[in-house]
Amino acid sequence: MQHQPPARDLPASWPPERTAWLNTGAPMPLLGLGTFRLRDREAVRLSLHAALENGYRLVDTAAVYGNEAAIGSALRELLPRCGLSREDIFLTSKLSPRDHGEAPTEAACLRSLQELGCDYLDLYLIHWPGTQGHPQGDKGNKERRQLSWRALERLHESGKLRAIGVSNYTIQHLRELLASCRVPPAVLQVEFHPQLAQSELLDFCRQKGIHLQAYSSLGTGQLVGRPEVVNVAERQGRTPAQVLLRWALRQGVSVIPKSASPARVAENSQLWNWDLTHADMEELSTLDCGKRYCWDPSSVA
Ligand SMILES: NC(=O)c1ccc[n+]([C@@H]2O[C@H](COP(=O)([O-])OP(=O)(O)OC[C@H]3O[C@@H](n4cnc5c(N)ncnc54)[C@H](OP(=O)(O)O)[C@@H]3O)[C@@H](O)[C@H]2O)c1
């Protein structure tokens, strides 16, 4: 579903070519900062500062990362220093798999808002289709995540969550959700890189107007040394990380690379005004083998 951007909705510091449009009609930056395993307050502050200075306008966190309070406090300090306000930042958090169900979801979301020190989130995702403490094949997983979604729909309608979505859902999980929801998911966040190109899932999301956001684009750092990626990077005069991130953007998929190093945060932001060629994409497509660096949700009932 394509939405024509009403100009007034796009913050001045978000260039249109670096912005996706969600099925809610809201803009979302195509580049964000990932923060998994970034817990130390000073490390969060340094990474976030480098990100804001290098044009990142999206921050991805989750209750399970244990860093929402550190991110909230760093944003309160850094936004005014960078001449930015809350409205310039797209903030995403996620429901912990231990908090599925209607009342626990509502409480968890309000807790995240409090930790981050915000009145609203731009996006809130169900982190995982299963419930922690229950077997993956447990049939109750389906009902619990439906109850969670009902709570998210209400929080969306109240304005506390400007968009709602899911993470680590398969096509089957999405079909179930689409068949029972009042508000369709705006975003699906999944592991996505040349070794896990997920073309069927990407096609499905495109058909249904769900924006795909990639996580672990760098294969948690392990893909940057692959000879095929290094070859393309040398041909393009770019770094392997930039090639991996551009590979997703070229398909309309947004990216949220994580780095604790300010230099790498800067490197990972140089993604604009150049592109991969068809031959580069062909070479990278030879890597597609279904490899996951994170978790596989396909056995969650
Ligand atoms: N929804 C989910 O279930 C889920 C799962 C995983 C991740 N995520 C989100 O997606 C974000 C990104 O995924 P990720 O953290 O798993 O992995 P990633 O972004 O693919 O890779 C991060 C790793 O790569 C290294 N790195 C970063 N930039 C680099 C560069 N330019 N050159 C070489 N190495 C580089 C980092 O090390 P340094 O920090 O030392 O630079 C870090 O170890 C997460 O932080 C999180 O926000 C979501």
Segment 136-167, tens digit of pLDDT: 999 999 999 999 999 999 999 999 999 999 99
Q: Which residue's C-alpha comes closest to atom 25 of ligand 1?
A: 221
Phi, psi dihedrals of residue 128, rounded to the nearest 5°: -150, 140
Tens-place pLDDT, residues 211-235: 999 999 999 999 999 999 999 999 9
Tens-place pLDDT, residues 15-26: 999 999 999 999
Average pLDDT over residues 156-183: 98
Query: Residue 115 C-alpha to ligand 1 middle, in angstroms?
Result: 23
* Helix and strand numbers, DSSP H then E, in the chain: 10, 10
Q: Say what angle helices 68-81 and 41-53 make with each other, to 10 degrees.
A: 40
Residue 121 CB-half CA count within 13 A:
31
3-state secondary structure of 22: coil
Q: Is residue 228 part of a domain?
A: yes
- Nearest atom within ligand 1 for CA of residue 241: 31
Residue 65 annotated among the catalytic residues of the structure: yes
Q: Which residue has the tokens 């809350």?
A: 86
Options 65, 124, 169, 215, the catalytic residue? 65
pLDDT category of residue 2 using cuts at 50, 70 and 90 = very low
Average pLDDT over residues 251-278: 98
Average pLDDT over residues 257-276: 98
- pLDDT, residue 228, reads 97
Domain hosting 278: range is 28-299
Query: Residue 33 C-alpha to ligand 1 middle, in angstroms?
Result: 9
Query: Residue 259 C-alpha to ligand 1 middle, in angstroms?
Result: 6
- Nearest atom within ligand 1 for CA of residue 214: 10
- pLDDT, residue 9, reads 79
The domain that contains 289 carries what CATH number?
Answer: 3.20.20.100
Q: Is residue 219 part of a domain?
A: yes
Average pLDDT over residues 244-269: 98
Average pLDDT over residues 109-130: 98
Average pLDDT over residues 111-123: 98
Q: How does 120-154 read in b/e, with b if 16+ C-beta sit within 10 Å?
A: ebbbbbbbbbbbeebeeeeeebbebbbbbbbbbeb
The answer to whether 109 touches 140, Cβ cutoff 8 Å, is no
Pocket of ligand 1 (CB under 6 A): 34-36, 60, 127, 167-168, 189, 215-221, 224, 241, 256-261, 264, 267-268, 294
Average pLDDT over residues 167-194: 98
29 pLDDT above the threshold of 70: yes
What is the Cα–Cα distance from 60 to 89, expressed in whole angstroms? 11
Q: How many domains is the chain built from?
A: 1
3 pLDDT above the threshold of 70: no
274 pLDDT above the threshold of 70: yes
The answer to whether 185 touches 165, Cβ cutoff 8 Å, is yes
Distances from the Cα of 217 to the Cα of 158, 203, 214, 223, angstroms: 33, 18, 6, 8
Query: Residue 223 C-alpha to ligand 1 middle, in angstroms?
Result: 11
Q: Is residue 116 part of a domain?
A: yes
Cα 300 to its chain centre, rounded Å, is 21
Q: Which residue's C-alpha comes closest to atom 39 of ligand 1?
A: 259
3-state secondary structure of 21: strand
Q: Is residue 156 part of a domain?
A: yes
Q: Is residue 57 part of a domain?
A: yes
- pLDDT, residue 8, reads 55
Query: DSSP character for 28?
Result: E
Q: Is residue 22 part of a domain?
A: no
- Residue 137 structure tokens: 């094949």
Distances from the Cα of 16 to the Cα of 5, 11, 223, angstroms: 9, 10, 29
Q: Which residue has the tokens 């077997």?
A: 135
Q: What angle do CA 137, 142, 144 make, to 5 degrees?
A: 115
What is the Cα–Cα distance from 270 to 49, expressed in whole angstroms? 16
What is the Cα–Cα distance from 63 to 263, expressed in whole angstroms? 27
Q: Which residue has the higher pLDDT, 8 or 271?
A: 271
Mutational test site, ligand 1, from 31, 35, 36, 125, max ligand atoms within 8 Å of CB: 36
Q: Which of 156, 183, 188 lies closest to 173, judged by CA?
A: 188
Phi-psi map region of 29: left, alpha, beta (phi>0 left; psi -120 to 50 alpha): beta
Q: 33-34 and 123-126: which strand pairing?
A: unpaired
> Would you tell me how many other CB atoms lie within 10 Å of the CB of residue 95?
28
Q: Is residue 1 part of a domain?
A: no
Tens-place pLDDT, residues 37-78: 999 999 999 999 999 999 999 999 999 999 999 999 999 999
Q: Which residue has the higher pLDDT, 21 or 4?
A: 21
5 pLDDT above the threshold of 90: no
Q: Is residue 15 part of a domain?
A: no
Compute the mean pLDDT over every residue in the chain, rounded to the nearest whole number: 96
